Structure 1
C-alpha cells in the first residue's frame, strides 16, 4: 500500500474499473487496482463497488429488500455448514 490518497472522483473511477475487471473475470487486474491503495481508500473503493452492485441488482429503491435477502442467504449458508460439519 503505497499510493497517495486519491480524490473522490479517482476513487469512483477505481470502483468502476473494479466492476469492469470483475465482469471480464480478470482477478489480476482487480488486485492491481486495489493492492496499492491506503486502507481508507481501499474501504471506499470496496464500499462504492458494493453500492453500485446493490443498485444494479435491486434498483434504487430495493436496497433494504436486497439486504434482507442477503442476510437470509448468509443464515442458510451457515446452517448448511453446521449440518456438514456436525
Structure 2
C-alpha cells in the first residue's frame, strides 16, 4: 500500500483496468492493480466499479433511470438473502 493518491482520471483508468483484467480472469493482475492503493483510493475504485455494474444491470433490464438503481438494489439484496439461506439451511421451528 502506498500513501500516494491517484488523480480522478487515474482512478477512472484503474476502474477500467480492473474490469478488463476481471473479464479475462486475470486475478493476479487485479490484485496488483488494487493492492498498492491507499484505502480511500481503493474505496473509490470499488465504488466506481460498483456504479458501472449497477448501470449495466439497470440498462440490460430496460429500466427507466428513476427506478433503475433501486430495482437493481432489490435484486442484489434478494440474491444475498437467498445465498445466506442456502448456507444456513432450513430454519428450526
TM-score of the superposed pair, with normalisation by structure 2: 0.84
How much does 1:3 deviate?
Answer: 5.0
| Counterpart position of 2:2 | 2
Root-mean-square deviation (CA, aligned residues, Å) is: 1.6
Number of residue pairs the alignment of both structures matches: 85
Residue from 72, 76, 84 that aligns with 2:82? 76
CA distance in 2, matches of 1:35, 1:82: 32
How much does 1:33 deviate?
Answer: 0.5
Question: Structure 1: any 5+ residue segments left out of the alignment?
Answer: none
**Which runs of structure 1 show a deviation greater than 3 angstroms over 4 or more consecutive aligned residues?**
none
CA distance in 1, matches of 2:89, 2:12: 41
| Counterpart position of 2:16 | 16
The answer to whether the aligner puts 1:36 opposite 2:36 as a matched pair is: yes
CA distance in 2, matches of 1:3, 1:14: 16
Question: Structure 2: any 5+ residue segments left out of the alignment?
Answer: none
